[in-house]
Structure 1
Amino acid sequence: MDHNECIQKIGEALTQLRTAKPLVVNLTNYVVMNNSANALLAIGASPIMAHSRQEMAEMMSFAGSLVINIGTLDSHWISRMRFAIEQANEFGKPVVLDPVGCGASRLRTDTARDFAELANKLTIRGNASEIMAMAGAQAQSKGVDALDSSQSAVMAAKALVTSYGANVVISGATDFVVTATEVVKLENGNSLMPFVTGMGCSHTAITGAFAAIGETTGLAATAVMGVAGQEASSHAAGPGSLQVNLLDELYQLTPEQLELRLKLSVVN
């Protein structure tokens, strides 16, 4: 797609999401459950923060998508998440995987790769270090924070696209959306955003909302999060007000605002 076609499709996807109000099942980490649920509500989706195996098959039969976030991982979470992915596969639903801290420990890296292998309809959203670690490339990480630039992870993302048939979003100062056919670069957002925990996790949750209406590339969610974050940062005094402002901006965001503010280029 060219630049104008990309922006048009993003605006159309936002309108469609708000009309459909898709249900998004989230198995996410304890730190960001509230952030992710509020971000989904603000953009116009309907979140369920479900974890029980006993209801997961029923949930995935009528939900639009599944979001898996491995931020607070243990053996119980792994079992539940694996079962949820199996149910998403059973019902043909897209899965969005956030490999939080991939590369920081063998458990996280192995689990992220196992889940990616298992999911049939997969989008991966992570920072540069996480994407590089998943692909087996040399990556620098400090806990769950990226020390690599998003540009340096593009080749690793392409490897994940090939390995798992996935679409991949690399978050950072510059975002990249990598699919089997193109790489799109987005340069919105703000340097204040990394000072609020769960910004990336909210991005992942919103990626799940768009996936539920068929926009599985991650492009629309990345555009929305970048522009909303940029607008929220412009009138925030610090991380606290940024977090509140972001929800307001997600709620108020229009296709026209996206067209005006979005800094997007198709790399190839």
Structure 2
Amino acid sequence: MEACYKISRALQSVRKLKPLVHHITNYVTANDCANITLAIGASPVMAADICEVRDMVSHANSLVINLGTLDSRTVESMIEAGKRANELNIPVILDPVGAGATPYRTKIAREIIDTIEVAVVRGNLSEIKALYGIDIQTKGVDSSENLSGDEDVPSYLKVFAMDFANQFHTVVSITGKMDIITDGKRLYIVKNGHEMLSRITGTGCMCTSLIGSYLGAETNSIDGALAGVATMGIAGEIGYNRLDKDEGTGSLKVKILDVIYHLSVKDILKWGKIYEV
């Protein structure tokens, strides 16, 4: 219950401060990321050109780096923006989309986390393992493995997540049917969401934007990561429960935005399935 109150306070901070979240993100989900940032109460900006990223991030409250549609032109922008964010103590959130899918994608993800001080890394289990250095195979940019929502998180995965956080000096959010969030000391499990979310492009990217929104509102890294992941899961679950029998993924996507726009403390306390281990 204490975790739910933390999320509620973080939500109130976002809506009061309206942080500017600078995205260097992928073109497939840029519109979704912008809309969910607006829905939570923050303000998005999508600026990726090397000529302006240092200036733009200087005005921002957080920086989201997303590798979804990776190309060589934006890699330099990501690193320059990240370095500038570090200089100004602006939190950086990394979404290593598809790490492990190709050697190049894995190399860039590792280069970013080695070069930039990253506050939060959010990815699926395959991506996080690839970033850690474990050989995996992915299905495109999707995870080749997942956590079962019907079981407790295995002890070895808790240890792995905490070791990742300690090795890279960051908060890691491993999202799937169940979510793990840890800073290497504290560890949370979130059991919100619905399997239908996996059939909507960009839900992971949108989750990362929510984390960026919370961190931009001066929420500390682990609480902001927890708030972003839990908000996405709660919205997915409430949205699914509001679907009519003839509605599908398109309707769910819209309902998620609506739920987040109207999200209340009461919703978080009622729906939150968050456990500190």
Distance 2:16 2:158 in 1: 33
Deviations 1:1-43 (A, max 9, x none): xxx2211111100011111000000000010000000000001
Equivalent position of 2:215 in the other structure: 211
Distance 2:185 2:261 in 1: 31
Query: What SS does the aligned partner of 1:53 have?
Result: coil
Equivalent position of 2:106 in the other structure: 109
Equivalent position of 1:241 in the other structure: 251
Q: In angstroms, what is the RMSD of aligned CA positions?
A: 1.3
Q: What does residue range 170-209 of structure 1 map to in structure 2 within 5 Å?
A: 170-209=174-213
Question: Which runs of no fewer than 5 residues in structure 2 stay unpaired?
Answer: 148-152
Match for 1:77 among 65, 74, 79? 74
| 1:138 Cα offset (Å) | 4.0
**2:165 is aligned with 1:161:** yes
**What amino acid is the match of 1:144?**
V
Match for 1:55 among 38, 52, 56? 52
| 1:70 Cα offset (Å) | 0.3
Query: What SS does the aligned partner of 1:115 have?
Result: helix
Distance 1:35 1:113 in 2: 26
Equivalent position of 2:230 in the other structure: 223
Moved over 3 A (4+): 150-156
Distance 1:230 1:223 in 2: 10
Q: Percent identity?
A: 39
Distance 2:108 2:54 in 1: 21
**What amino acid is the match of 1:162?**
N
Q: What does residue range 26-41 of structure 1 map to in structure 2 within 5 Å?
A: 26-41=23-38
**C-alpha contact (below 8 Å) 2:63/2:85 kept by paired residues:** yes
Question: Structure 2 vs 1, CA of residues 121 and 134 (structure 1 numbering), >3 Å: closer, same or farther?
Answer: closer
Distance 2:176 2:27 in 1: 23
| 1:100 Cα offset (Å) | 0.2
**C-alpha contact (below 8 Å) 1:102/1:134 kept by paired residues:** yes
Query: What SS does the aligned partner of 1:52 have?
Result: coil
Distance 2:55 2:14 in 1: 23
Q: What does residue range 93-104 of structure 1 map to in structure 2 within 5 Å?
A: 93-104=90-101
Deviations 1:69-127 (A, max 9, x none): 00111111111111111111121111000000001111111111111112224200000
Distance 2:158 2:106 in 1: 18
Distance 1:116 1:160 in 2: 12
- How many pairs were matched up? 264
Q: Normalising by the residue count of structure 1, what TM-score does the alignment of the two structures yield?
A: 0.95
